[in-house]
Amino acid sequence: MGAAEIVLNVVFYVLAASAIAGAVAVAASRNIVRSAFALLAVLFSVAGLYAVMKADFIAGAQVLIYVGGILVLIIFAVMLTHRITDVKLSNDSTPGPAAFCACLCLLFSLLVVVRYSTKWRRDSDTVTARAESFEVSFKQYQADGATGLAFGGGAYEDSVVVVATVSQGPDPLRILDQVQFVATSGANRVSRNFPVAGRDAPYRHVFEKLSEGEWRWTVRLLGRQKDGKDEVDREWEFPLANTGFTVTRGVTEPIALALAGPYLFAFEVVSVLLLAALVGAAFLARKEVKDL
């Protein structure tokens, strides 16, 4: 666990603690204004958690819309629906054992499902290519090394982790010396050589500082082949079709392409709905003009 992962974990736990503290304060505070400002803490913490998950655009949108819009509206509503003279507004609640037990049971069941009964699929798919007596199996992961990166999918940071195994059937004529991973994107090319460790040993490498764009993989095996009495250097190349990934800086561009692509209709419908909500809210909250 490198320093970056430790930092990320610490940040996650701090943000999680503040989100839970805020949520409990919203649920249990006896002053409604304090509830509203505890909601502020929750919203900012959730935005921080989105940033920890590398969904930076959503973190920005969350603060902009939720804090800058919805929370301001909520605080205005709190201030407009109470007498101004009491500063300590009471916030009655009817806490009973029923609601508390129901929520505890709900929480318990969710935790059991999440932690113990569901096998979450985080691992990557494997691509296998065969040639002569060699077989290359190949997986790719996101920068944290554990979340699978689907082939053709997007990496939201500029690094990718590759895990591959090379196995060789019984073949006295061919000897394997090195394995080379090559990633190409247009004119950019990064590669990494590994000396052969042993049969079926996995090779793992983190490719860093990749530029933006679409990348494709090629695996080359360098070895020697016995040709009569001599040994000739040979290369075997596996182009590994349909294995690739896209590097974007953050999640902004993929979201934009999705909103202008598959989700275009939904986007337009939500725009019309927002317009209707705007007009409706302005109408509902108007002050009646009383005839004098």
Partner 1 sequence: MIFSRHPLEQMLILSAIVFCCGVYTILTRKNAVSILMGVELVLNAANLNFVAFSQYTRTGGVHGNVFTIFVILLAAAEAAVALAIIIGIYQNFGRVDVDEADGMKE
Partner 2 sequence: MTPIALASWALELTGIPVLDAFLSILVVCFILINFIAVYAGISTYAERKIAGHMQARVGPYRIGPHGFLVWIADALKLMIKEDIIATNTDRLLFKLSPYVVFAGSFACWVALPYAPNWSPASFNIGILYLLAVSSAVVIGILMAGWSSGSKWALFGAMRSAAQIVSYEVPIGITLLGMLLIYGTLDMQAIAASQAKGLPFGVMEDHYGGLWSWGINRWPPFTVIAFIIYYIGALAETNRTPFDIPEAESELVAGYHTEYSGMRFSFFFLSEYANMFVVSAIATTFFLGGWLPPAPSASGTLLLVVGTVVGAGVGYGFQRRGFDGFVGAMLGSGIGALVAVFAAQPAADGAFTGKGPQILEGAFWFFSKSFTLIFVMIWLRWTLPRYRVDQLMDLCWKKLTPLALINLVAIGILETRHEWWALIVNHFKAAGP
Chain mean position to CA 244: 18
Based on its alpha-carbon atoms, the radius of gyration of the chain, rounded to whole angstroms, reads 28
- Which positions from 137 to 176 touch partner 1 by CB under 8 A, shown as an x/- string? -------x-xxxxxxxxx-x--------------------
DSSP three-state, residue 289: coil
> Is residue 95 near partner 1 by the rule CB under 8 A?
yes
For partner 1, the binding residue among 7, 111, 173, 241 (CB under 8 A) is 111
What letters, b where the CB count within 10 A reaches 16 and e where it falls short, cover 209-246? ebeeeebebbbbbbbeeeeeeeeeebebebebeebbbb
CB 221 within 8 A of CB 134: yes
Chain mean position to CA 194: 30
| Of 59 and 176, CB closest to partner 1 | 59
Question: Binds 259, which of partner 2, partner 1, none (CB < 5 to 8 A, cut-off by type)?
Answer: partner 1
The nearest distance, CB 248 to partner 1, in angstroms, is 10
Q: Give the span between the Cα atoms of 171 and 174, in whole angstroms.
A: 6
> Is residue 292 near partner 1 by the rule CB under 8 A?
no
Binding residues vs partner 2 (CB under 8 A): 3, 6-7, 10, 31, 33-34, 37, 40, 44, 47, 56-57, 59-64, 67-69, 71-72, 75-76, 79, 84, 87-88, 249-250, 252
> Is residue 19 near partner 1 by the rule CB under 8 A?
yes
For partner 1, the binding residue among 67, 78, 190, 201 (CB under 8 A) is 78
